[in-house]
Structure 1
């Protein structure tokens, strides 16, 4: 529908909208940045050759428009709080927080996120899982409502863990995984923004590794993953080691941000929420291991003459490096954390 130069322009405007929101010194300015981000992201989603992407862009617009309306209404109420004395200020903050949670796709406002992910290309799905969460999460960090954030944290980790068990679509699996990780991000926002930044960067990095691989082989469902095994055993292990890292299994890099959150939550005596989060992480590891088990246990034949021809070598080098970082990143970043 759009050529490459148009997509680059829309992506630049989308990033500019996020920057406006992050650097805004008023709620109205933050709302304007969110709207710029929304209106520039929708053209990237729409594709005239794919009805599912058109449906997904419509769902995204309606959901985000609802959240923006609630946010703008709450901001107006906040500006008029001296005139309308009957409105409790905590209710206004609750409405603002609810609209921002709806924008991120956190539970219990997650209903739109998995179905929308199903209709997107892998690159758009990566943008939705990572970049599009930056601005709402930064605004959530400005709101001091720990009880509601704890509730959303618990619901997000539960929905993300239980919703991913029965999925056969990789895009829906990544969507529920994103909801689960979003619960951990909300918990880290309650503790320390620096830990949230570490968690978000590590999550974005590991998600990008997996999604680049899925996009390279055009894989969208579990039964298509066995096509990769005919290329190389090395590819198979690179992919599934990153799956385990995304699930937070030590000693991979994905465990490091979770370990930081666990440590700080213990120091803050948030043991009940932490217990639920850890139990739900075990369930997410279960459905990751369910995918990996057959690949680790069984041998597959390889077509060596197709290896060099169909797969770009520099992609493989990048994936090797990312897996290497996943193995040793935990020790390196832990050492830096204690030095600081």
Structure 2
């Protein structure tokens, strides 16, 4: 993404609004920071000339969710009903994050976005709604939509061929993990968010570098690019000993103490997601290009930071956890 003064200003405003929402103890202030955060993302979407009405759809969905959230807060003041048990408030947050049953806007908008905007939407834009849901809504009220999201979103991704849609459904299925990690502890959320953002960045940067948009385009030429993609996808599927395995393993250990049903849903969702990621990299593993037989000796020693991060990351995190 080429950085000009406008984009730098918008990204800085996005970061400041998120930090302000995290530090805020007032619900109205948090709502205002959420609106500023969402409005600063709009110019990044409109810079893409391919996108026609997607920015307007995103604006309508987010503004509707914000209006419902504000209405729930006003009704809470009028009728003195606890906000933690409000279905209206829960629905607004589900719409904000793109969880079931308000999930269809995420793949619809992401399919025409640039990979940089996809990265921001699937990671940074979820911080404030995750904090609001984990701190303001009771876990018993969130369990049905979270379990439904983790079970249904991998099923919807099975018949997709667009990589951006698959990454959108992957983001939807990982959002309940994010909420559960913050419900357990702040350190778990920080670990999961950093690792998930790092893996998403490596995967999407590889897709952009190789100009990949569909599964059938994964007929890669070099061994280095193939290894990059295979290792990153296995890490995204939480396959041990990759770095993506450790945060989910840590969340599962904590979640078993208060909800077996949520733990089983997480495990089944991970199994289905792993099948989808293996399906994505299966053309690389099974297809052989007979025309590229030269220069094989030059690929004997491959130095790549992404492979080192994914394989050694779990050992580093385990040492950090034990200390």
Structure 2 unmatched runs, 5+? 296-301
Structure 2 counterparts to residues 252-331 of structure 1, below 5 A: 252-266=242-256, 268-300=257-289, 301-302=291-292, 320-331=304-315
Q: Report deviation, 1:274.
A: 1.1
Q: Provide the residue aligned with 1:133 in structure 2.
A: 126
Q: Report deviation, 1:93.
A: 3.6
Structure 2 counterparts to residues 28-39 of structure 1, below 5 A: 28-39=28-39
1:228-260 CA-to-partner distances (Å, cap 9, x unmatched) read x22x11110111110010011111111111110
Q: Report deviation, 1:304.
A: 7.1
| Worse overlay, 3-12 or 28-37 | 3-12
Contact 1:157 1:183 in 2 (8 A): yes
Q: Provide the residue aligned with 2:66 in structure 1.
A: 68
Distance 2:294 2:5 in 1: 38
Q: Provide the residue aligned with 1:313 in structure 2.
A: none
Structure 2 counterparts to residues 64-143 of structure 1, below 5 A: 64-78=62-76, 80-81=77-78, 84=79, 88-90=81-83, 93-143=86-136
1:32-85 CA-to-partner distances (Å, cap 9, x unmatched) read 1111112111111013632xx23221111001001110111122233x34xx35
Of 168, 177, 180 in structure 1, the residue corresponding to residue 170 of structure 2 is 177
Q: Report deviation, 1:91.
A: 7.2
Q: Provide the residue aligned with 1:149 in structure 2.
A: 142
Q: Report deviation, 1:96.
A: 2.3
Distance 2:197 2:115 in 1: 14
Question: Residue 48 and residue 108 in structure 1: after superposition, are their counterparts in 2 closer, same or farther (change >3 A)?
Answer: closer
Distance 1:293 1:276 in 2: 26
Distance 2:48 2:261 in 1: 48
The RMSD of aligned alpha carbons is 2.2
Is 1:6 aligned to 2:6, yes or no?
Answer: yes
Of 52, 57, 60 in structure 2, the residue corresponding to residue 59 of structure 1 is 57
Q: Report deviation, 1:218.
A: 2.0
Distance 1:323 1:8 in 2: 30
Is 1:212 aligned to 2:205, yes or no?
Answer: yes
Distance 2:240 2:3 in 1: 43
Question: Residue 48 and residue 282 in structure 1: after superposition, are their counterparts in 2 closer, same or farther (change >3 A)?
Answer: closer
Q: TM-score, normalised by structure 2?
A: 0.91
Distance 1:96 1:49 in 2: 35
Distance 2:213 2:279 in 1: 17
SS at match of 2:94: helix
Q: TM-score, normalised by structure 1?
A: 0.87
Q: Report deviation, 1:3.
A: 7.4
Question: Residue 143 and residue 48 in structure 1: after superposition, are their counterparts in 2 closer, same or farther (change >3 A)?
Answer: closer
Q: Provide the residue aligned with 2:317 in structure 1.
A: 333
Q: Provide the residue aligned with 1:224 in structure 2.
A: 217
Q: Report deviation, 1:92.
A: 6.2
Distance 1:197 1:94 in 2: 28
Q: Report deviation, 1:269.
A: 4.4
Distance 2:84 2:180 in 1: 21
1:13-37 CA-to-partner distances (Å, cap 9, x unmatched) read 2222222222222111011111111
